[in-house]
Amino acid sequence: MFDPRDPYERYWWHYESRRPLSIAQIIALGSTDAETVALIWLMLEHGASLTVAGPTDPQPGVGKTTTLNALLQFLPEGTALAYMSGMYEDFSFTRLPEVDPTRTYALCNEVSDHLPIYMWGRVARRYLRLPSQGFHIATSVHADTIDDVIRMYRRDLRLEIEDVRRLGLVINMGLVGRIYPPRRRWFTTHYLHPAAPSERPDEIVKLPLSVWNPEDDSFEHADACVIDELATIAGLPSQEFRAAFKRRVACLQEISQGRGIDMHEMFNAIEKVRKQERQLRS
Q: How confident is the model at residue 10 (pLDDT cuts 50, 70, 90)?
A: confident
**CB-CB contact of 207 with 48 (8 Å):** no
Give 76's DSSP letter: P
Domain 23-281, what fold?
A: Rossmann fold (3.40.50)
The domain segmentation of the chain, as residue ranges, is: 23-281
254 φ/ψ sector (left φ>0, alpha ψ -120 to 50, else beta): alpha
Determine the pLDDT at residue 16: 86
- pLDDT at position 3 over 80: no
pTM of the model: 0.95
Q: How confident is the model at residue 35 (pLDDT cuts 50, 70, 90)?
A: very high
- pLDDT at position 60 over 70: no
Q: How far apart are CA 175 and CA 185, in angstroms?
A: 6
Residue 36 has φ and ψ, to the nearest 5°, of: -60, -50
**CB-CB contact of 168 with 39 (8 Å):** no
* 191-213 pLDDT tens trace: 999 999 888 888 999 999 999 99
Determine the pLDDT at residue 9: 83
* 125-173 pLDDT tens trace: 999 999 999 999 999 999 999 999 999 999 999 999 999 999 999 999 9
Determine the pLDDT at residue 209: 98
- How far apart, in Å, are the Cα atoms of 253 and each of 24, 28, 161, 178? 8, 9, 37, 28
